[in-house]
Structure 1
Amino acid sequence: MTDSSTSPGDGRVTEFGYTQSLERSTGRFASFAVAFAFVSIATGIFTTYGSVLTSSGPMGIWTWPIVIVGQLAVALLIGSLAARIPVTGYAYQWVSRLANPVLGWITGWISFTFLAIVVVAVDYTVAATVVPALFDFTGTPATAFLITAGILVLQGLLVGLSTKWTERVNNFAVTAELIGMVALVVLLFIVGVIAHKLSVGNLFSRGAIPADGYWSFGTATSAGPWMLGFLLGAFTIVGFESAANLAEETKKPEIVVPRAMWQAVLASGVLGFLFLLVVTAAVNDPAALAQSGTPIADIIRDILGSFVGTALLVLVAIAIFACGLVILMSGVRLVWAMSRDQRFPGWQALHKISPRFKTPLNATVTMTVISAVILGLFSTSTDALFKLFSAATLLPAIIYAITVALYIATRRKLPPSKGFTLGRWETPVLVVAVLWLVFVLSLFRDASFRDPWLYAVVMVALGAVYLCYLLVTRGRHGLKMPEMSSIDAEFEDAA
């Protein structure tokens, strides 16, 4: 039943053929916090900084500003779609309605495979890098598996039992992350200057990476050293569109969600780059640090000492926990949205909203279990963290490319947005987004990404089997989306 207590701008779900079944209580800060928490510069930098030192050296951090420009362009375009179709399911909904349900289902399945693995990658960061640094022990694949599994279960309980408490925890964690990252930047800079431990020369050092071919674009099966540095930002600045996956729970989503996206990218980009600059300047021996499993934690403790360093690492752990929490919640909403349309395996149970908790409880349990299985498959590897974050970088790039291509194909016939528009900036933003996505996808030709591609292929193949089953049993007409009455009307008016 549609919630009649919502304001006129909040009841748009009925325009897309659905009834309001989720509580619409998410406000502006909570929407921003969802997008910011998913991006989580603390998570991305703690996870990938060591890999960048190994592949690109300290100078690899200068790829970050380029990533921000590219991802900001993508966020602006996606925000334009989110303002027009503010329905849970984000890319699955947009592509299904503006292209066709088959391509939309494929996009939704790829989004699901991304969310299922990225929550593992994020939680594994706590287990593999932060917890060992906090409790001063050497982690093993076994300890990382157990800690990550425990974190997944706790996140699943929160998401499944209370959306309100999930948002409260996330709001607190985002506030802690903002305070913690700003404090880290300021303290590392001040203490580093006083102790003469900052070196501007580090910012332009290649570390142990040979000069020969450093700036090369690479070959047909490998990317050049500096080019691999782009993965630092490409892994971190993703997931901002998660705010759109809570559109049916957000007040005035056509206004709030697009703003949450671009603000999260911009805030994360600026704060993250300041942190990278001061951390890299504080590196004592880049070549030696590249061999550490916890390079960021090592730098913090070296400059700030064990007490302050430990306190700030606790804040980082909270931020990373919230990142995984938001990812799991976004994945649950996607599974629920596809199940509501009767096109996700087990939809008969997964589309239900718990009458007691007012959450998609069955979808939460399923998403948590699937992520735990993925954790088990990857955790036996000695370089599990690299494989996880590589797969979690590849898949969103594919999703963004599909969405931007759709935007290009349909933008001339899209109805006017009620909340967000690019106006005359649309064309230049499109150009930047396309150039960026073509470039970032080209990086994954490197042979080191064989396992992430294998994961993507296997998951897509599994999805293809189920899609064929849907097409055989229902036909293309059976996958038709509920009517978009408001958009259809505007198409007719425009004609």
Structure 2
Amino acid sequence: MSIESREASKSSPDEDAAHLASLGYKYETQFKREMTFWGNVSLGFTYLSPVVGIYSLFAIALGTAGPPMFWSLVIVGVGQLLVAMIFGEIVSNYPVAGGVYPWSRRLWGRKWGWMNGWVYLAALLTTIASVAYGAGPYLASFLGLESTVDATILAALAIIAIATCLNLLGTGVLNKVAMIGLIAELGGAVVVGLWLIIGHRQHDLSVLFNTFGAGEGSDYFVAFAAAGLIGIFQYYGFEACGDVAEEVPNPGRTIPKAMRMTIYIGGAAAMFVCLSLILAVPDFGAVISGADADPLGGVLLAAFGPVGYRVVLGVVLISFVSCVLSLQAAASRLTYSMARDGILPASGLLSRFSERRHVPPYALLVAGIFPALVVIGSKISEDALVAIISFAAMGMYMGFQMVILAALRARLKGWKPAGKFQLGGWGIPVNVLALFWGILGMLNMVWPRTPEAGWFANYIVLISSLVVLAVGGLYLAIRKPHLLGDAPAADAIKTQNFANKS
């Protein structure tokens, strides 16, 4: 399989600008290609954020399926790597800011591109709110405060404000802060993991194959699938590497490699952190029965003491801030990309650029204000917050699979990727497997698991997803935003067919 193009030369700024112009966009003086390869990896890594993912869902996953829940990280990692391989081919062809929106627009058409952009933007904005809100209890513990609803809201708003200010300073600052976040998070994960394994390990690796009674009374596969949501929540973020394609030198070669590296490093860090925590939990039975509702906090406090525990919390908070920072960067570039094509309300405002900072400030403000409003809304109705953020992970997978389906359709109609990263003859098999994997992941997210909780609680992810699709579809039918602007669309197949005829 030819994964990389054999072309060895690196592109120059003029070549990058020429490629962008050939895709219908003028580079001019807007984005600056200041993001290095490792900065691009850091952006994807901090968005994926193994610490945020594991620390947020560890207790739930362990209590649901016991220690074998660890293997879901391996399974989901392989599935998402298939998706990243397809994304790598696409971004190599279309290294345009905004990621999934321009990709699906070029591969399928205007309507598909608009709906994909709408779904993915809604998912990004709600994910920012959910990550910031999830940081509240950790900030309260760090400051020694009681974790109340008000404290959580204030903490979330502070994190959103900090991330927004940093993003407004430009790509260079984003590159540096993302790398600091990667170093802090990866370093913290390694130090915490080693400390737990060397000095506070309670079990050997055999526990990874022992359920300790989890899932009793039902098929264990059902419990394992439910716990597998920790992996599903964990492995997205690599696509953010492509959202900033106009800010990376030689994007056709750099970004596909950065996407894969994000999964390799992020997945390894997540599995290492999860493994070290599992082996340090003293009583799995207490966690599974619900007697120990916070095994993570208990393990860390016992291992590091009050002072060390606060240091660990500091690293965790850095992870949350850098995660929100990366999510905002992705959301703002998507907003800008759609506004640049003239298909969003207030496109003229949202497509404006700061000539000094080389970022779209109003698009960034959307990525700060909307999540902040969602967080504030939790004061009025926590149920509303749950309904909104329950769409976050599902929306990500929907956005991914709309691209994967568009790519498969285009391949079957004759499209052959011609970028610097190619899968060659493996393209269609990998594309089919990536689509199959994504559908399985979405089914797992919408599957009802708690019949005693009522129909709404069981189908909240499905309901929120249908609402987002219905609102987007209604707006599409009434306002017809896809007809606005003259950006290229559905040209992947046309270009390929023209080349074949020539």
TM-score higher than 0.5 here? yes
Matched, 1:87 2:85: no
Among 128, 143, 150, the alignment partner of 1:142 is 150
Give the partner amino acid of 2:499: D
Q: TM-score, normalised on structure 1?
A: 0.89
Q: 1:427 to 1:487 in 2, by over 3 A?
A: closer
Q: 1:211 to 1:343 in 2, by over 3 A?
A: same
Q: 1:248 to 1:121 in 2, by over 3 A?
A: same
Q: Which residue does the alignment assign to 2:33? A: 24
- Tell me, in whole angstroms, the C-alpha distance in 2 between the residues paired with 1:385 and 1:181: 30
8 Å contact from structure 1 (residues 22, 358) kept in 2: yes
Q: Which residue does the alignment assign to 2:232? A: 234
8 Å contact from structure 1 (residues 415, 491) kept in 2: no
Q: 1:390 to 1:483 in 2, by over 3 A?
A: closer
Task: Look up the SS of the partner of 1:17 in the other structure.
Answer: coil
CA drift of 1:241 comes to: 0.5
Give the partner amino acid of 2:469: V
Task: Look up the SS of the partner of 2:172 in the other structure.
Answer: helix
Q: Map 1:214-253; keep pairs closer than 5 Å.
A: 214-216=219-221, 224-253=222-251
Among 178, 199, 220, the alignment partner of 1:191 is 199
Q: Which residue does the alignment assign to 2:86? A: 77
- Tell me, in whole angstroms, the C-alpha distance in 2 between the residues paired with 1:416 and 1:363: 31
Q: Map 1:325-474; keep pairs closer than 5 Å.
A: 325-378=325-378, 390-412=390-412, 413-447=414-448, 448=457, 450-471=459-480
Among 3, 11, 14, the alignment partner of 2:21 is 14
CA offsets 1:274-315 (integer angstroms, 9 cap, x no match): 221121111112344465665423312222333333223212
- Tell me, in whole angstroms, the C-alpha distance in 1 between the residues paired with 2:408 and 2:220: 32
CA drift of 1:463 comes to: 2.7
- Tell me, in whole angstroms, the C-alpha distance in 2 between the residues paired with 1:470 and 1:275: 48
Among 262, 265, 268, the alignment partner of 1:267 is 265
Structure 2 runs not aligned, ≥5 long = 1-10, 449-456
Q: TM-score, normalised on structure 2?
A: 0.88
Matched, 1:481 2:487: yes
- Tell me, in whole angstroms, the C-alpha distance in 2 between the residues paired with 1:485 and 1:358: 29
Task: Look up the SS of the partner of 1:213 in the other structure.
Answer: coil
Matched, 1:206 2:204: no
- Tell me, in whole angstroms, the C-alpha distance in 2 between the residues paired with 1:449 and 1:167: 41
- Tell me, in whole angstroms, the C-alpha distance in 2 between the residues paired with 1:388 and 1:279: 30
CA offsets 1:405-455 (integer angstroms, 9 cap, x no match): 111111253344331111243344234323311211111333345333333
Give the partner amino acid of 1:104: G
Among 34, 43, 47, the alignment partner of 2:52 is 43
Identical-residue share of aligned pairs (%):
24
8 Å contact from structure 1 (residues 55, 228) kept in 2: yes
Q: Which residue does the alignment assign to 1:302? A: 302
Aligned-pair RMSD on alpha carbons?
2.6
- Tell me, in whole angstroms, the C-alpha distance in 1 between the residues paired with 2:279 and 2:385: 25
Matched, 1:281 2:288: no
- Tell me, in whole angstroms, the C-alpha distance in 2 between the residues paired with 1:66 and 1:29: 26
Task: Look up the SS of the partner of 1:80 in the other structure.
Answer: helix
Q: 1:331 to 1:293 in 2, by over 3 A?
A: farther
- Tell me, in whole angstroms, the C-alpha distance in 2 between the residues paired with 1:459 and 1:485: 27
Among 479, 491, 499, the alignment partner of 1:493 is 499
Q: Which residue does the alignment assign to 2:133? A: 124
Give the partner amino acid of 2:35: T
Q: Which residue does the alignment assign to 1:221? A: none
Structure 1 runs not aligned, ≥5 long = 217-223
CA drift of 1:356 comes to: 3.2
Higher mean displacement: 361-370 or 38-47: 361-370
8 Å contact from structure 2 (residues 110, 483) kept in 1: no
CA drift of 1:401 comes to: 1.6
Q: Which residue does the alignment assign to 1:174? A: 182
Task: Look up the SS of the partner of 1:453 in the other structure.
Answer: helix
Give the partner amino acid of 1:419: K
Task: Look up the SS of the partner of 1:352 in the other structure.
Answer: coil
Task: Look up the SS of the partner of 1:211 in the other structure.
Answer: coil
Task: Look up the SS of the partner of 2:135 in the other structure.
Answer: helix
Among 162, 172, 180, the alignment partner of 1:164 is 172
The aligned length equals 478
8 Å contact from structure 1 (residues 244, 257) kept in 2: yes
CA drift of 1:330 comes to: 0.7
Higher mean displacement: 7-16 or 84-93: 7-16
Q: 1:270 to 1:10 in 2, by over 3 A?
A: farther
Higher mean displacement: 17-26 or 48-57: 48-57
- Tell me, in whole angstroms, the C-alpha distance in 2 between the residues paired with 1:483 and 1:464: 19
Q: 1:258 to 1:320 in 2, by over 3 A?
A: same
Higher mean displacement: 236-245 or 266-275: 266-275
Q: 1:94 to 1:243 in 2, by over 3 A?
A: same
8 Å contact from structure 1 (residues 192, 198) kept in 2: no
Q: Which residue does the alignment assign to 2:121? A: 112
8 Å contact from structure 1 (residues 83, 258) kept in 2: yes
Task: Look up the SS of the partner of 1:240 in the other structure.
Answer: coil
